[in-house]
Structure 1
Amino acid sequence: MTATTEGLRDLVSQPGYKHHLVEDLVKSAKKGCALCAFISNVVSRGFYQCEGLESKVEWTLEEMESIFISACCEQDESFHSDGSKVPSITETTLAFGYISKHGRYYSAYENVPVSFLKLTIFADPAAPTNLSLPALTEELALFCAKQPSLSESVRGTQIAEGIKRHLGECLTGHLSTCPSNDSPVLPRRVINVESKENSQGLSLHINSSDEHARYVALSYCWGDPPHPFITTRITLENPSIVDWTLIPATIMDAVLVTRSLGIRYLWVDALCIVQDDEVDKAEEIKRMGAIYKSATITIAAANSPNVNRGFLEDRPVAKISLPTVLPGGTYGALWVGGACPAPLHEPLDTRGWTLQESFLSPRILHYGSTGLIWKCQKKIFEPVLESYGLYTVPPKLQARIPSGIFNVDSLDTVETNHFWGHIQRAYSSRHLRLLEDRFRAIGGIAEEMQRVSNDTYIAGIWKNYIVQGLAWKYNDTIPNHHGVRGPRQSPSWSWLSVYRPVCTRHCLDDGNEPELVSWSVNLADASSPFGHVLGGELELMATIIQSTKLPVETVSAINLELDYDSSDAEVQSTATFVSDDYYYLHLGRSYGRSIGLLLQLLVDGKFVRQGLVTVQDSDNFIWASEDARRVVIRIV
């Protein structure tokens, strides 16, 4: 394709370069060709636009016969001093097409095959960018390729100016989605990155008079202990003993970014919370949601697994080298850079605390493994500068908290159920070092959601959506990054009581669903209603049936998903839970199935949740039987 002038000529022609029969493409990929592997991986997961049709058609790799690659060329007179027009392959225009059994399919671009993935072609910096090839008119022309660096920088003057441009646009132009408070109240402690107290220009600043100023917040991974560079009661009272030359790389990189933006203050939890003072820690944890929400911008050190790693190193461009013939018959290389999906699982995405830091931050500088991305409520995922990565954004990364949280005049409706389901899936698989963090690490999100939603938060679930709140189950489709292990916490009805990835089963009211009568939550700190929970009780009017009242064939047809880990297949069987102290509670219906809970009766007459059950019960046989009773029960 690129090693000969004929191949390059076909590449820039309207039909494109016939790259491979599909079976040969697959064989080549298996033999180790990076480009063939890249193409075969992508074409097997695409929807294609058929010429003359508005809807897209899904084709599998098996239904394709030949793969074509085409470069849509623009004619740019500025490339040649004599005014001749030169074919120039520009970014984002390398396209794929294919021939299927049903004919050839095209994209919306005239005479350009289906473009389902963007690529960049650029030249080796050590080689000439202008390559000779016969033009379509048989006259000599030049094939011109970009000549960027083969790595991408996330620092420097150009980057800082790009960030400032995005920030200014957000503060003044995104008034319906993003907060415009340009001078928030400072947190109680911040790092002064323009200090005159030492040669490093760093000191801890105490805000004792409600000072207002811009500040940057840092979201990062601590990594494994020990963590010697933290604020303690001793260093707080004797700041002169702090050796700022020992500051970890990730925090130092955040200092450099803050300075480059002309902002004086930086908030970092390790240094702005007294780590050996439990009272101070509890007070600051209650404020953390507000701290990130009020920050001018948050630095997300997404690709850094620990505080000593840093995040400002250059990012290599994902690329595939292709041989080409240079003028004079020598060989050089063209490089193809593929559109890379934004990584779903950066190191930062595995830490529990960083979820609310991300959602409550109105503006984020996301230092990921493939580049620097700007995020705000308006621009959800955009490279700070033109990127060779040509990011595609998975839907999972597009979710943002409702803009009403930030007190803007937004048209967004704040409805807890849908958004909380996203929080549940994203948070439940994340790593937490301390058991008591399970509830409080999303307390800031819960507090803000309650403030604007006319709903009431009850230890992980919402009053207005009690049925959906109880219909959670173990989710084995996502990785589990939990670092904590221990006995199951109370209350059993809350998904936050288990240390497993969870999701909510779709469950519709059917007129027989539970009704919330009352509730109580036992807080570790009464002044922190969204903090650590020691226990709780739900009083429900619900329909229940004792397990011993069900026929054996009905019990065997019930699908049980236990809330706790068990590798024993017998324990997972509903037959194990047939006795006088096991009951089923009806929640609702979903696609012809009945959804319910398995409960265990305790000696005090209260119940504890054991798992979620589903049963194919189109006639509502179980809950319409005379043994089913609608009573008031208490679940702890």
Structure 2
Amino acid sequence: MRCADCSKLRTEQLDGGAGPLLKENFKALKESADAGCDLCTLWWTRLVQRYNEKGAAGYLRGFEPSGKEIDDPNVYLSGMIRPSKPQPGMFASSSEVSSGNSVWINLGIRFNLLVDLSIFADPGLIPPFPFRLFPSPPPFVAACVLLPTLSRIGTPASHVFCETWTTVDRNPGYHIGFVQHFMHHCQTRHKLCSSPFFNDAAKSELPTRLIDLGESQDRKQSHIVTTRKCKIQSPYLALSYCWGASPKRTTVLQDDNLEELHSCIVEEQLSKTHRDMFQLARDLGFRYVWIDALCIIQGNAEDWEYESKRMAQVYGNAALTIVAGRAADSSEGFLENKFRPVVGPCAVPFNDEDTMRKLGLTEAQMGNIWMSLPRSGMYGPVSERGWCFQELLLSSRALIFGKEQLTFQCQELIVQEDGSPGRPIPYRIRNPYDRGYVVDPESKTLGAQKLDDHELVRRWLVFWYKEVISLYTLRKLTNKTDVFAAISGLAQITKTKIRSRYLAGLWETDMLRGLMWAVWPKASRTAPPRRRVTTISPPQGDADTQARVVPVKAPSWSWAAIEGYVRFNAHGRYDIKYHESNWLVRPKYEGRWTRGTACHATAAHIESCELEFFGRPRRVRCLDNSAERSEYSDNFPDSFSLSTVSTYRCYVNLAPMQEDGGNDDKAASDHIVARAAIDVPEETAANFWCLLLTKYNGLILTRDGGGRFRRLGVLMKPKNSDLDVEWMMSGQEEEVCLV
């Protein structure tokens, strides 16, 4: 049932900026919603959601939070209804999809979208809030543009717009057409996506094992094949998903069933996510799939270590990666979208007089446009897993079954099923694996550009530290010893571009800046920072032995030693700050910081690595130990939300400590030479040492009985003064061993 105002609504009235008067005030809108009008219920629900989010519930009563009455409390509609699907010849850059269709509800102002954007700068005005639009039946059963006849399936509405809504209740099989459409578009129009991933030889390299689904729909034919023996050259799909606990109760590849699964896989004994993957591959016409639980021998350390190094090839060479984003456990499956909004979509007749006149159609033949509450672009539980972070970034193309909708991603395009363009690949690197093409994050030009070697290395270093490590450290690892293995594929690719030694997550060519990472504990995302530890269970049958907690071996100077959110951009990456003229330490071995050889990009575990260099460590004492709380906002990819969170950091002020036999006037006072941020607030040390790396920053260390140093945190200037570089550099230069 609809009220008289909503019954008259047509899409033509919503388009073009200044929309129609919907209701004379908030009270009338609420009363109409309570009376059962589906559209008024939609408007009112979104209004309440919006202002609950913003903490401005006073608007609902017709007043601003300050108590001032709104001059014009009328409720208007305005919008922009434009095709947002990629069309031939429309896009000259890699930003191929414009913003999806939306309609805005405006309270207290008649808002013209095209000319009145300046109102957003006026805090006294009530901002509009959007609703998404999509046609029915779903698109991709028709051409990208409206044809002169209706010989194809669908209505004019479904021929013009690409947005849709797919759940178990509405268009449940739409994901097939969605991915086929964008895969075809990518394969035929995206130059970067068709570039070799590494080189021509690696492009054709297949995983060690694949699952052969057979030539028909007969499930009895599925089995594991060894690609080298079978000489397979066919495309395959790869799966990225959360394991959960279910693989322990279902079929996985092990040494004792290796021959059996090479003969036949009983699909009824697989987890729901694995069965969904088989079904999706068959629906898309793919014969081969790669799933880690069935293609890596579980419990076989040698096979796991070999295969874990090959994730760049596995996901990079897959025709498409399927990301089961919405499933927290592989028992749940991912094909069914069970999302149900508070208020369902509402239909409005599609009214285009030019099209009706040209084709001789009635309004009933034009079809409907549906309005809905905005849907989240978050990927779901998969966004919290460390291994899945690498898998998505390595993939040439991916179809993400997100928390509330589908997302297609390739090297030039990210688009969601509601028509919204998702955020581009972090740092706007459209093809991180093509040596010659990278897009500057601060450039307004979206086209690729040729880079010289120095600039290419600089951008890859920023990409590695600012995007890869910062986002990766937000994720969780079931096995904490996988901290290096889970990004080994990304490290291998980055190494080919930087051409430097990889030392426990840092790059030797950029060691000073690499050492200046800082812990930013985010209460809403991770637990407070702590040393990375793991639990070793007692042997089976030994019930009296308690599990042991042991540290995961990683050098103290590596971000991998800390379980917590790590950032590098807090200290900047200005070349002038880190120019060699500002260095206050020097590597011991002519440009090489260690003699160790255990650190490399393919190492699944890095147990130890000693940095050896010359510097001037100075003994300091702690004047105070104060915890500070601060509020700040941070931007994350579309798999995370924008939020304000609390951060807890431990800061200490440092003063000189009298050296044995020394005569230091400053040591006799409370003169503050530096301030330090401690990585793990609970850690305290009886002996603090400060070590300047450059004239602008350094580390806070502790020293063991053998004279070796371990990192505790980073130095920064005191609140009301500068670092006392003169005092810290007045000590004698000595060999420093940082472990």
TM-score range relative to shorter protein: 0.7 to 0.9
Aligned pair 1:606/2:671, yes or no? no
**Residues 527, 203 of structure 1: alpha-carbon distance in 2 compared, 3 angstrom cutoff:** farther
- TM-superposition CA deviations, 1:594-618 (whole Å, max 9, x none): 5431101122222110112323277
Matching of residues 219-258 of structure 1 within 5 Å: 219-224=240-245, 226-239=248-261, 240=263, 242-258=265-281
**Residues 157, 325 of structure 1: alpha-carbon distance in 2 compared, 3 angstrom cutoff:** closer
Question: Which residue of structure 1 aligns with residue 104 of structure 2?
Answer: 95
Report the AA paired with residue 393 of structure 1. Answer: G
**Residues 180, 542 of structure 1: alpha-carbon distance in 2 compared, 3 angstrom cutoff:** same
| Counterpart selection for 2:212 from 192, 206, 227 | 192
8 A Cα contact 2:131 2:371, kept in partner? yes
CA distance in 1, matches of 2:491, 2:347: 57
CA distance in 2, matches of 1:282, 1:18: 63
Aligned-residue offset at 1:165: 3.0
Aligned-residue offset at 1:288: 1.8
Report the AA paired with residue 108 of structure 1. Answer: L
| Counterpart selection for 1:212 from 228, 233, 243 | 233
Report the AA paired with residue 48 of structure 2. Answer: A
Aligned pair 1:119/2:131, yes or no? yes
**Residues 391, 170 of structure 1: alpha-carbon distance in 2 compared, 3 angstrom cutoff:** closer
Report the AA paired with residue 559 of structure 2. Answer: W
Aligned pair 1:347/2:381, yes or no? yes
Aligned-residue offset at 1:315: 4.5
Matching of residues 34-433 of structure 1 within 5 Å: 34-40=45-51, 65=70, 66=73, 68-72=75-79, 92-97=101-106, 106-108=112-114, 117-120=129-132, 151-152=166-167, 159-179=175-195, 184-194=204-214, 199-209=219-229, 211-224=232-245, 226-239=248-261, 240=263, 242-316=265-339, 318=341, 320=343, 336-343=371-378, 346-379=380-413, 381-383=414-416, 387=417, 389-391=418-420, 393=422, 398-399=426-427, 403-406=431-434, 411=449, 413=456, 415-420=459-464, 421-433=466-478
Aligned-residue offset at 1:631: 4.3
Question: Which residue of structure 2 aligns with residue 520 of structure 1?
Answer: 594
Report the AA paired with residue 353 of structure 1. Answer: W
Aligned pair 1:4/2:33, yes or no? no
Question: Which residue of structure 2 aligns with residue 493 of structure 1?
Answer: 557
Aligned-residue offset at 1:117: 4.9
**Residues 35, 149 of structure 1: alpha-carbon distance in 2 compared, 3 angstrom cutoff:** same
SS at match of 1:491: coil
8 A Cα contact 1:342 1:392, kept in partner? no
SS at match of 1:598: strand
8 A Cα contact 1:67 1:96, kept in partner? no
Instruction: Please tell me the root mean square deviation across aligned C-alpha atoms, in Å.
Output: 4.6
4-13 vs 194-203, greater mean Cα deviation: 4-13
**Residues 276, 64 of structure 1: alpha-carbon distance in 2 compared, 3 angstrom cutoff:** farther
Report the AA paired with residue 538 of structure 1. Answer: L
**Residues 377, 73 of structure 1: alpha-carbon distance in 2 compared, 3 angstrom cutoff:** closer
CA distance in 2, matches of 1:21, 1:124: 31
SS at match of 1:441: helix
CA distance in 1, matches of 2:24, 2:732: 67
174-183 vs 163-172, greater mean Cα deviation: 174-183
Question: Which residue of structure 1 aligns with residue 526 of structure 2?
Answer: 480
Report the AA paired with residue 236 of structure 2. Answer: Y
Question: Which residue of structure 1 aligns with residue 628 of structure 2?
Answer: none
Aligned-residue offset at 1:409: 5.8
306-315 vs 212-221, greater mean Cα deviation: 306-315
8 A Cα contact 1:5 1:325, kept in partner? no
Aligned-residue offset at 1:474: 1.8
Aligned pair 1:459/2:504, yes or no? yes
CA distance in 2, matches of 1:220, 1:611: 35
Report the AA paired with residue 224 of structure 2. Answer: L
**Residues 629, 68 of structure 1: alpha-carbon distance in 2 compared, 3 angstrom cutoff:** farther
CA distance in 2, matches of 1:301, 1:521: 43
Aligned-residue offset at 1:227: 4.3
Question: Which residue of structure 1 aligns with residue 690 of structure 2?
Answer: 584
Aligned-residue offset at 1:39: 3.5
Indicate the percent of aligned positions where both proteins have the same amino acid: 22
8 A Cα contact 2:81 2:102, kept in partner? no
SS at match of 2:309: helix
8 A Cα contact 1:220 1:301, kept in partner? yes
CA distance in 2, matches of 1:238, 1:263: 23
8 A Cα contact 1:293 1:406, kept in partner? no
Unpaired runs of at least 5, structure 1: 46-59, 76-90, 126-143, 327-333
**Residues 10, 244 of structure 1: alpha-carbon distance in 2 compared, 3 angstrom cutoff:** closer
Report the AA paired with residue 417 of structure 1. Answer: L
Aligned-residue offset at 1:484: 5.0
CA distance in 1, matches of 2:180, 2:316: 19
8 A Cα contact 2:502 2:600, kept in partner? no
**Residues 73, 391 of structure 1: alpha-carbon distance in 2 compared, 3 angstrom cutoff:** closer
- TM-superposition CA deviations, 1:306-354 (whole Å, max 9, x none): 111111113536463699999xxxxxxx9741233411x6111111111
363-372 vs 430-439, greater mean Cα deviation: 430-439
8 A Cα contact 1:341 1:392, kept in partner? no
CA distance in 1, matches of 2:495, 2:711: 26
**Residues 501, 70 of structure 1: alpha-carbon distance in 2 compared, 3 angstrom cutoff:** same
| Counterpart selection for 2:484 from 439, 446, 461 | 439
8 A Cα contact 1:339 1:392, kept in partner? no
**Residues 6, 633 of structure 1: alpha-carbon distance in 2 compared, 3 angstrom cutoff:** closer
Report the AA paired with residue 566 of structure 2. Answer: V
Aligned-residue offset at 1:555: 7.1
8 A Cα contact 1:319 1:337, kept in partner? no
- TM-superposition CA deviations, 1:464-519 (whole Å, max 9, x none): 32232112222223512799565253310000112222112324526145444433
8 A Cα contact 1:474 1:500, kept in partner? yes
Unpaired runs of at least 5, structure 2: 34-40, 57-63, 83-99, 121-126, 138-155, 350-368, 439-448, 451-455, 536-549, 622-655, 658-666
Aligned-residue offset at 1:145: 11
Report the AA paired with residue 736 of structure 2. Answer: I
147-156 vs 532-541, greater mean Cα deviation: 147-156
CA distance in 2, matches of 1:634, 1:483: 23
Aligned-residue offset at 1:363: 0.4
8 A Cα contact 2:253 2:296, kept in partner? yes
Aligned-residue offset at 1:553: 7.3
**Residues 296, 552 of structure 1: alpha-carbon distance in 2 compared, 3 angstrom cutoff:** farther
8 A Cα contact 2:211 2:222, kept in partner? yes
CA distance in 2, matches of 1:169, 1:558: 57
482-491 vs 531-540, greater mean Cα deviation: 482-491
Question: Which residue of structure 1 aligns with residue 149 of structure 2?
Answer: none
Question: Which residue of structure 1 aligns with residue 361 of structure 2?
Answer: none
8 A Cα contact 1:490 1:535, kept in partner? yes
What is the TM-score normalised by the length of structure 2?
0.65
CA distance in 2, matches of 1:459, 1:521: 14
CA distance in 1, matches of 2:433, 2:105: 43
8 A Cα contact 1:217 1:295, kept in partner? yes
8 A Cα contact 1:64 1:98, kept in partner? no
Aligned-residue offset at 1:393: 3.3
- TM-superposition CA deviations, 1:58-110 (whole Å, max 9, x none): xx9769934743145989xxxxxxxxxxxxxxx8342244558xxx7643258
CA distance in 1, matches of 2:27, 2:515: 50
503-512 vs 408-417, greater mean Cα deviation: 408-417
Report the AA paired with residue 520 of structure 1. Answer: T
Question: Which residue of structure 2 aligns with residue 506 of structure 1?
Answer: 571
**Residues 8, 286 of structure 1: alpha-carbon distance in 2 compared, 3 angstrom cutoff:** same
434-443 vs 63-72, greater mean Cα deviation: 63-72
